[in-house]
Amino acid sequence: MRRFLFILFILSFVSVLNAQEKALLYSHYSFNGLAVNPAYAGSRDMLSVSLSHRNQWMGFEGAPAYNIVGVHTPYKNTRMGLGLLVMNESIGLRKYTGIYVNYAHRIQMGRGKLALGLKGGVGTGNYDQVDLGNDPHFNDNSYSYLLPNFGVGAYYYTNRFYAGLSVPLLLGYKSNNSGEIITRHSFEQYAYYVTAGYKIDLTSDWQAQPAGLMVYEKAGGLIADLGVSVMYKDALRAGVSYRTKQAIVMLVDYKITYQLRAGIAYDYGINELNSYNRNSIEVALEYNFGYRVKAVNPTIF
C-alpha cells in the first residue's frame, strides 16, 4: 500500500512539473493581488504587507499547503509601484518556493489608473526522500533546482471598480531524461488570470461588491470563481462565491484597525473528492502603513 500511494504521488508530481507553474487559485484573493497580478504593485498607494496561509483538502496526508508573503508600495513622486512576493508550496513530497520582484508602471486614465506590470525572480524546490525499504531507485532520487521565472500583467482600478489580466508565470519546469529539473516555455500552457470587481452603495453604511476571478489554461479549461460580498461601514465584509465544479466558498474579513485587516475563507467541496478531502480553509492578514479617513468635516471622526 505504501508503494502504491507513493507511485500515485510520483504520477501527480510528474504532471505538475510538466505543466505551467502558476499562482494558486486563492479564495481570499483580495489579500493576494500581488500573487495574481504583478501590476497590482503600488495600487494601495501606501506601503502594504499581506500574509496568507491555505490548508487544502484537510484530512489528506500530504495535502497541499500554501503560504504567501507580499510587500508592495508606490515609489514616492513617480509612477512606479514596487513589490516583493514570496510563495511557498508543499504538496506531498514536493516543496516549492518562489521569490519575485514586481514592478508596475502606473498611468492616470480617466478617474482611475492603468498599471502595466512585470515580475522576475527565481523558483526553488525539491523532492523529499522516502524510505521504501530496500528499493534504491526511489530512495536515492531526491532532486532540487533553482531556476528563473517571470510574469506580466495589466490592472485598471478606480475607487469603485477594478479589472486585471495577467499571466503570473511565463515559464514551466520539467525533468529531462537524466532527472534534472529544467525550464521550458510554451504559449499553449500559459495560465491567463482575469479579475474584476465593482462596489455598489446600498445605504450610507452598507455596500455590495460583486467580484470574480477566472483562470484559463488549455489543458485544464476555464475555472471561474464568481461571488458577491456585503460590506458594513467599510469594516466588516462577508460573502459567498461559487467556483465552477469545485467548491462553494464562504468568506469574511474585518478591519480590526484603520490599518490592520484579517480574513478567513472556507471552501466546501462539491466535486467527487468531497467525500475524502474534508474541504479547505484559508486565513489572511493585511497591514497598511497609512490610512485615509472619509468625513465631510475632517475634525469629526
- In this prediction, residue 137 carries a pLDDT of 46
* 299 part of a folded domain: no
- In this prediction, residue 150 carries a pLDDT of 95
Are the beta carbons of 150 and 168 closer than 8 angstroms? no
* 293 part of a folded domain: no
Say how far apart CA 40 and CA 105 lie, in whole Å: 10
* 30 part of a folded domain: yes
Domain interval for residue 69: 2-288
CATH number at residue 10: 2.40.160.40
* 51 part of a folded domain: yes
* 296 part of a folded domain: no
- In this prediction, residue 18 carries a pLDDT of 41
Average pLDDT, 10 consecutive residues per value, the chain (301 residues) = 42 40 66 92 93 82 84 91 93 84 95 95 74 48 79 95 94 77 84 94 94 89 92 94 87 93 90 65 91 52 42
- In this prediction, residue 8 carries a pLDDT of 39
Q: What is the pLDDT of residues 23-77, one digit of tens each?
A: 456 788 888 899 999 999 999 889 999 999 988 877 676 678 889 999 999 998 8
- In this prediction, residue 96 carries a pLDDT of 86
- In this prediction, residue 81 carries a pLDDT of 95
* 298 part of a folded domain: no
Phi, psi (5° rounding) for residue 278?
Answer: 55, 20
Say how far apart CA 239 and CA 223 lie, in whole Å: 19
* 294 part of a folded domain: no
**Cα 144 off chain centre by:** 23
Give whole-number Cα distances, 134 to 131, 137, 280, in Å: 8, 9, 36
Question: What total of structural domains would you count in the chain?
Answer: 1
* 202 part of a folded domain: yes
Are the beta carbons of 144 and 124 closer than 8 angstroms? yes
Are the beta carbons of 117 and 85 closer than 8 angstroms? no
Q: What is the pTM of this model?
A: 0.81
Say how far apart CA 116 and CA 233 lie, in whole Å: 32
